[in-house]
């Protein structure tokens, strides 16, 4: 099934495979020439696939250097974005694409009871890969992260991943919409729809909205992705300022070095997902917040 992962992260998750499939690795000048020539070629499925493979093979090798010295890649990135727009893919999300994950939750839930006054983690892959029970053994944790869940998908499966658990504290993370090219206003509108449901069903539940994290490959996902994440975080912070039982939690600043660049040692090889070290930066921030809310 074509879904948003194939549309956005297809290459990010398979960089090593692409490097193997590409017979030669571009040097900087060769990559510039390739991108310039590609602008004059017809849009064909073969060209689309080749563009994604060769471009991500190049960026995967240069992602750390790019984040340290982005000016060196200014021309290459500009040409890459032009071709990215030319070979643009349909990023429409099929809301039921993670049906199997939800069915797994349903089977597990049918055989188990839920802790009372739970701390529920919901969201995309950053929640999926977070060993929350291990990180917060003092709290009654439930983790219902699935796939690369966007906020509309969380809404679609709201009854299964949120409502049935009636949490005391709800932690939400998703950056999928912005990484798929959605504007900050559209992203926040989706959050508002979800949060309106939560406030209606659980007016006393404490909600923690986690900031969208910076990654090593934001600029390769899309021209405006890095900027739109920052703006969306600003809007979510403002949203929470006007709401009771709702807090915006900045977990992104801890991921930056003193010069403002993103730490490269906290990501897996894809430059997108965090490794165990990355989560050690998030854990104390959330432990303190949850502890205050749970009065522990």
Q: 271 near 215, Cβ under 8 Å? A: yes
Q: What does the pLDDT read at residue 296?
A: 59
pLDDT of residue 34: 95
Domains of the chain, by residue range, sit at 4-86, 99-294
Measure the CA–CA gap between 93 and 62, rounded to whole angstroms.
30
For 98-164, the DSSP string reads THHHHHHHHHHHHTSPPPTT-EEEEESHHHHT--HHHH-TTS-EEEEE-TT--HHHHHHTHHHHTGG
Superfamily of domain covering 99-294 = SGNH hydrolase (3.40.50.1110)
pLDDT value, residue 8: 45
Give the C-alpha separation, 123 to 116, whole Å: 21
Per-residue pLDDT of the chain (296 residues; tens, 9 = 90+): 444 444 444 434 444 444 444 444 789 999 999 999 999 988 887 888 899 999 999 999 999 999 999 999 999 999 999 999 999 877 788 899 999 999 999 999 999 999 999 999 999 999 999 999 999 999 999 999 999 999 999 999 999 999 999 999 999 999 999 999 999 999 999 999 999 999 999 999 999 999 999 999 999 999 999 999 999 999 999 999 999 999 999 999 999 999 999 999 999 999 999 999 999 999 999 999 999 999 85
């Amino acid at each position: 099934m074509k879904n948003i992962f194939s549309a956005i992260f297809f290459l990010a998750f398979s960089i090593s495979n692409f490097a193997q499939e590409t017979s030669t690795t571009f040097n900087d000048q060769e990559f510039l020439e390739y991108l310039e020539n590609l602008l004059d070629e017809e849009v064909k499925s073969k060209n689309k696939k080749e563009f994604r493979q060769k471009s991500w093979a190049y960026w995967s090798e240069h992602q750390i250097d790019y984040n340290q010295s982005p000016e060196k890649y200014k021309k290459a990135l500009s040409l890459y974005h032009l071709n990215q727009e030319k070979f643009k893919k349909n990023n429409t999300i099929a809301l039921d694409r993670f049906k199997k994950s939800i069915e797994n939750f349903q089977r597990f839930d049918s055989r188990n009871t839920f802790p009372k006054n739970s701390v529920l983690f919901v969201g995309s892959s950053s929640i999926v890969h977070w060993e929350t029970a291990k990180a917060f053994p003092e709290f009654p944790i439930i983790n219902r992260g699935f796939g690369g869940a966007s906020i509309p998908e969380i809404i679609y499966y709201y009854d299964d991943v949120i409502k049935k658990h009636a949490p005391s504290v709800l932690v939400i993370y998703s950056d999928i919409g912005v990484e798929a090219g959605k504007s900050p206003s559209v992203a926040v509108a989706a959050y508002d729809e979800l949060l309106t449901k939560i406030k209606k069903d659980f007016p006393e539940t404490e909600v923690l909205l986690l900031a969208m994290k910076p990654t090593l490959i934001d600029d390769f996902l899309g021209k405006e992705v890095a900027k739109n994440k920052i703006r969306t975080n600003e809007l979510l912070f403002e949203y929470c300022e006007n709401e009771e039982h709702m807090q915006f939690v900045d977990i992104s600043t801890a991921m930056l070095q003193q010069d403002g660049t993103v730490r490269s040692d906290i990501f897996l090889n894809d430059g997108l997902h965090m490794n165990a070290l990355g989560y050690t930066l998030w854990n104390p921030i959330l432990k303190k917040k949850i502890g205050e809310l749970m009065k522990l």
